[in-house]
Amino acid sequence: MSQSLPKFREQLQDLMHSPYLRPFVCEGSPLDCDVFIVGINATTKLDFWRFWTDDYGFHKEKWLKAYQEERVEKGKRAITPTRNKIGILIKELAPHKCLETNLYATATARASQLEKEEQSTRIFEFLLETIQPRIIYLYGSEPFEYFSWQIKGLKQNEIRVAELAYGKVSLYATRHLSYQTSYIQVSRVIAE
């Protein structure tokens, strides 16, 4: 990508009405990510910009520490099953750089708690158009539905090569990682 991190930040900030939205998580520059892991929405609110610097990008390790502390303070387990399974995917997909993102940037305990105005895909679409990933891993029904109306023949548990506005992309859709996808299924997807 030829875009600079400061320019990317400015454009992203223009789309974000609150620092407590979570547009994505990655280590370093999001512009270097060729894989998107796409869910519905985040569950934990943190100030996104606390973990951003224009010379590096996003500091995932610092974010993860704060994420765990926030969850424990609220009496929850430090890491959710979804986060564990995303971690497995990211490790196994190396050397690809992964960007964890969601259709909706607003964090709620459950996706069903999203208000209508919080169900905007503007930030997700900005990330997709700007970063242009070559691989997209979808988990959950809403990300699958978002892409299935654009890509005929998209099915769950099958790799599909499709043409998006910016070029070819490989998509894989599965059920939600938190409770409907086992660790064995995640490992099988990686093997494919």
Of 42 and 184, the structure prediction assigns the larger pLDDT to: 42
pLDDT at 55: 97
pLDDT at 186: 47
Please check whether residue 33 is in contact with residue 60, taking contact to mean a CB–CB distance below 8 angstroms. Answer: no
Q: Could you tell me how many residues make up the chain?
A: 192
In angstroms, the Cα distances linking 180 to 38, 51, 102, 112, 150 are 16, 31, 18, 17, 25
pLDDT in tens, 121-139: 999 999 999 999 999 999 9
User: Would you identify the CATH topology of the domain 5-191?
Assistant: Uracil-DNA Glycosylase, subunit E (3.40.470)
Give ∠ CA 100-49-9 in degrees, rounded to 5.
80
pLDDT in tens, 150-192: 888 899 888 899 999 999 999 988 876 655 554 445 445 555 5
pLDDT in tens, 48-71: 999 999 999 999 999 999 999 999
